[in-house]
Structure formats: structure tokens, C-alpha cells
Amino acid sequence: MRKKNIFKFLLGGLFILVSLNLNAQENEHNAGEHEAVAHETEEEHGAINTKEGIKEFVGHHLMDSHYFNLLANGETGEHYGTPLPVIIWDEGLHIFSSARFHNGEELVEIDGNTYRLYHTKIYKTDAEGTIHYGEDGFPTNERPLDFSITKNVVMMLVVALLLFVFFRILAKNYKRSAIPKGLGRFLEPLVVYVRDDIAKPNIGPKYKKYMSFLLTVFFFILLSNLFGLTPLGVNITGNIAVTFALALVTFFIVQFSGNKHYWKHIFWMPGVPVLMKIVLMPIEILGMFTKPFALMIRLFANMTAGHVVVMSLLGLIFIFQNWVAGPTFFGFTIFISIIELLVAFLQAYIFTLLSALYIGMAVEEHSDHPEDHSEDLPVV
């Protein structure tokens, strides 16, 4: 029964993860977008060999998209890839292909309303496609409720499908033999490592109950990070909505797994004077939320920073345009990319390790701890 409950809980967590990312346009990190929206003209973007053009290129690389672009012709502006479905709610449900926007160059009219794709977001506008700005430089046009299947959502579904296939293969290998073959030989050391070096030391005897979650989050983050290093231009873990959802699932698991000792240490810390208990209570409550917040920011910031550095180094090649800068910055890019490969594994490990640590703190038994004799201590 417990296995069924934890499986249902994990499915709910993954549902939250996908649902939050469907509205990632509201929360994602728009690198340089404020300045671009406030100062950029609508007719022309910066050239790729200028600082403004490089900054815009890096910003668009980090953002989510309604298109799955594979190639682009810098001279003609043509993009080659796959448009994704747009799903919006505005006085009713509207579903159409993002190809109708023609990479933001065309307007889409539905039931008397006109929509424009501007900086990866869909706005209601007039027949001329006018975008109005507020004092802060951001668009003030009304926006429909957006449930579109964006590039990040597609890649998340691909990663989920790969995880299902990989572990089905591993499970079948174990049914045939105690020694896995093929892909199982690569997966087994990672699974054993998560079990013996992350779950057991930090959770203790109850580690089996949480192994499915720890393995899921470890391999999901790892594959997402690795896809981010490919030329596909996906940035799943560089999207703060995704890292927020992952941290939120960890938060819920920790809170629902907490035993009476866990909650007692939060609301009425044993072994300290009464006055100190009152002081520590709000600090411990705040700590409940700062832990998942740290998980969210750490993964998001590290993966975003890596993409910014790599893309910036590539941009310097186009700015300097000489035989010295080209090979030099290309070499730096290869070096940073190798480091990013290490960071991809490291961030998956750190997120899983801290999740296991927080779970272990919530389920730890304190039967061997001394009784609370705080009443006998003098109040300072």
C-alpha cells in the first residue's frame, strides 16, 4: 500500500512540474529582456557582430519558445524547425499552430481578437500589432491565459519518456540475470551510487520508501542538463519555473514525511529554555521554506550561468573577427563546455543529495535523545 501511495504522490509531483512549466512564460528568467523591450526598435534587431546583437542572441537562447528551431539563415532571416501548438484561453479555448505567427512577424486574428507573439509571449493587440509600454518599460497589453506546448515542455516529455524506457530496460535485465547487460551496465552504477552514497547515509533505514523519487529527480535533472549542452537550444533546468516545481515536490515530500520529532523541533525545540523556544520557532518555520528556495536557485543559477558564459564566448568570436581571437575563444568555449558536462552531473548530485538530507531530517527518529529538561534550566 505504501508503494502505491508514493507512486501516486510522484505522479502528482510530475503533474505539478508539467503544469507549472506550461505557464513558464510568466516566471522564466528573461536575460536582458527589460533593456531590450525598453530600447529595442520593433523593425530591426542588433547584428550578431555587435554587443547588443550578442546580448539579444544570448537572451533568446535562454528563453523558452513556441518554435523548435534547428537552423536559421542569418542573411534571409529564415528559420528551419518545427512550430509547436499554441493553446490559449481568451473568452474560450483557442488552439492553433505557432507557425501562424511566422516567428513573431505576423498577427493572428481569432473571433475578432488579434494576437501577437512578442519576446516569446502572446499579447492581445490591434490590427497594427501595437505594443504599449508602462513606465517600467514592460508591455502593458492584455495577455490571454497561455497553456501552450512550448519547447521546454516538449523536452521535458522527451526526458520523461527516456527515463521510462531506460528503467524498463534495466528492470527487464534484472529479471533475466543478476548482472545487467547493454544499457543496464551504464545505469546500474548510477542507481547503486544514488542508493549507497545518497539515500542510505542521509535517510537511514527508511531509504527504500524514497528511492523512486530520488532516482527520478537525479536522472531527470541529469538528462535535462545534458540536453541543455546540445545544439538543440533547450534550457530546461535554466527555467526557474522548472526548478521551482522540482523544489516544490521535494518540499511536499519532506513535510508529509515529517514525524512528530521533526515538527517538535520546528515549533517547540526540545532541550532549550522556554524563551529560546519562542525565538527559534519563527526561524525554524522560515527554514522550512528557505531550504527548497535554495534548491531552486542553486540549480537555476548554475545552469543559466554556464549557458551565458558559453554563448558569450562564442559571441566574442564574431565581435573580434580575426585569426587570433577565433581559435582562442573557440578553445575557451570547448574548455567551458567540458566543465559544463561536469556541472551537469554535479548539479543533479547536489539536488538529490540535499533532497535526501532534508527527507532524512524529517523522518529521523529521536528515541535515543535525552528528555526535554528545559523547565529545569534557568531563563536567561
Domain shared by 159 and 266, yes or no:
yes
Counting runs of H as helices and runs of E as strands, what totals does the chain give? 12, 8
* 186 within a domain of the structure (yes/no): yes
Domain shared by 99 and 179, yes or no:
no
Domain shared by 166 and 226, yes or no:
yes
Least confident of 14-23, 54-63, 113-122: 14-23
Range of the domain at 93: 73-149
Report the predicted TM-score, pTM, of the whole model to 2 decimal places: 0.78
- Mean pLDDT, all residues of the chain: 78
Domain shared by 141 and 254, yes or no:
no
Q: Could you give the CA distance from residue 143 to residue 123 in angstroms, rounded to a whole number?
A: 5
Domain shared by 250 and 290, yes or no:
yes
* 282 within a domain of the structure (yes/no): yes
Domain shared by 140 and 158, yes or no:
no
Domain shared by 166 and 252, yes or no:
yes
Tell which of 95, 116, 149 closes a domain.
149
Residue 113: which pLDDT band, with cuts at 50, 70 and 90?
Answer: confident
Strand order across the 108-110 sheet: 108-110, 113-118, 121-125
Could you tell me if 121 and 143 are in contact, meaning their C-beta atoms sit under 8 angstroms apart?
yes
Tell which of 102, 126, 149 closes a domain.
149
Domain shared by 347 and 240, yes or no:
yes
How confident is the model over 290-344, as pLDDT tens digits? 999 999 999 999 888 887 888 778 777 777 777 877 788 788 888 888 888 899 9
- For residue 198, which of 345, 360, 362 has the smallest C-alpha distance? 360
Domain shared by 303 and 288, yes or no:
yes
* 380 within a domain of the structure (yes/no): no
Tell which of 149, 164, 187 closes a domain.
149
Could you tell me if 85 and 98 are in contact, meaning their C-beta atoms sit under 8 angstroms apart?
yes
Q: What is the pLDDT of residue 230?
A: 81
Domain shared by 140 and 116, yes or no:
yes
Count of domains observed in the chain: 2
Residue 18: which pLDDT band, with cuts at 50, 70 and 90?
Answer: very low
Domain shared by 167 and 142, yes or no:
no
**Cell numbers that stand for 323 in this block:** 585569426
**Cell numbers that stand for 179 in this block:** 548482472
Domain shared by 137 and 158, yes or no:
no
Least confident of 49-53, 121-125, 363-367: 49-53
